[in-house]
Amino acid sequence: MHIKIIKADGTSEYFKIEKLRRSLRRAGATPEEVNSIVSEISSEIYDGIHTQEIYRRAFSLLRASEVAIAARYSLRRALFSLGPTGFPFEKFLGRLFEKHGYKTRIGITIDGHCAPHEIDIAAYNDTHSFVGEAKFHARPGMKTDLQVAMYSYARLLDLEGNKICSDSICGIKEFWLITNTKFTHTAEHYGECVGLKLLSWDYPRRDNLHDRIQRAGIYPITAIQSLSTSQLATLIEYNAIVCQDLVDNPSLLRHLRLSPRKQDLVMQEAVKICNL
């Protein structure tokens, strides 16, 4: 089967069944579900179809089979829905690294040698610390480019010698550039060359953002399908960033004035997603 599909960044490639299989398996679909969905999709795709369209279709099939698995599959979309501003994404990263055992600080300002810098995320544990820039894009296909990598490196240079906490481990010498989409190849090459740590949805090949989120078992609140965009935005305003926040504190839902029945539905979904 030689069918050309259009990727989010506008480039095209041949449709590869194995990629679809892998993403469905990753999402926790059973082998039967994978087979059934893959054969359904294969019979429907055509030259010039967008990957988003394939994804949408696979997702609706998965959803029909299991809401919670669908939420997992829709993780990438859920991250986009944390926008339009980048601040909830920063908070989400804070939660993620806390799950990895770090203490984190979000949105702090540190005076460097030549300028004050807004640091999106600072994290430290007993043996390691880093600061990072979170670059959020509200749409797939938008990449984080060389300019961002260059000003991140200049920021690291300007911050060297400062500390993010009073512990001896906290001297700034490592800078992470983190994005929910991808880096351009030039940015990747430059970042590696000057010694930045790069983390994107699928970079590096192992232990990328996707892997780390799955490993931490932490899901953005926007993975919940049974709430509308504006309802989710209200919860985010009240600092509910991950599904677990809702499970830990169901009274957050009172801000939405839902019927008792709808409340139950939402809570059931949140619990399911958290237990993935």
Choose which of 193, 204, 249, 254 interacts with its own copies (CB under 8 A).
Answer: 193
DSSP string, 98-114: HHTT-EEEEEEEEE-SS
Distance (Å, rounded) from C-alpha 222 to C-alpha 82?
Answer: 7
User: How long, in residues, is the chain?
Assistant: 276
Question: Which amino acid, residue 110?
Answer: I
- Closer residue to its own copies in complex, CB, 136/190: 190
Q: Is 190 in the site for its own copies (CB under 8 A)?
A: yes
Choose which of 72, 137, 155, 182 interacts with its own copies (CB under 8 A).
Answer: 155
Q: Is 115 in the site for its own copies (CB under 8 A)?
A: yes
Closest contact distance (angstroms) between CB of 134 and its own copies is: 15
Closest contact distance (angstroms) between CB of 236 and its own copies is: 26
Q: Is 116 in the site for its own copies (CB under 8 A)?
A: yes
Q: Is 154 in the site for its own copies (CB under 8 A)?
A: yes
Q: How many CB atoms lie within 10 A of CB 129?
A: 22
Closest contact distance (angstroms) between CB of 151 and its own copies is: 4
Asked whether 38 and 28 are in contact (CB, 8 A), the reply is no
Q: Is 108 in the site for its own copies (CB under 8 A)?
A: no
Q: What is the 3-state secondary structure (H, E, C) of 189-238?
A: HHHHHHCCEEEECCECCCCCHHHHHHHHCCCEHHHCCCCCHHHHHHHHHC
User: Footprint of its own copies on this chain (CB under 8 A)?
Assistant: 113-116, 146-147, 150-151, 153-155, 158, 186, 189-190, 193-194
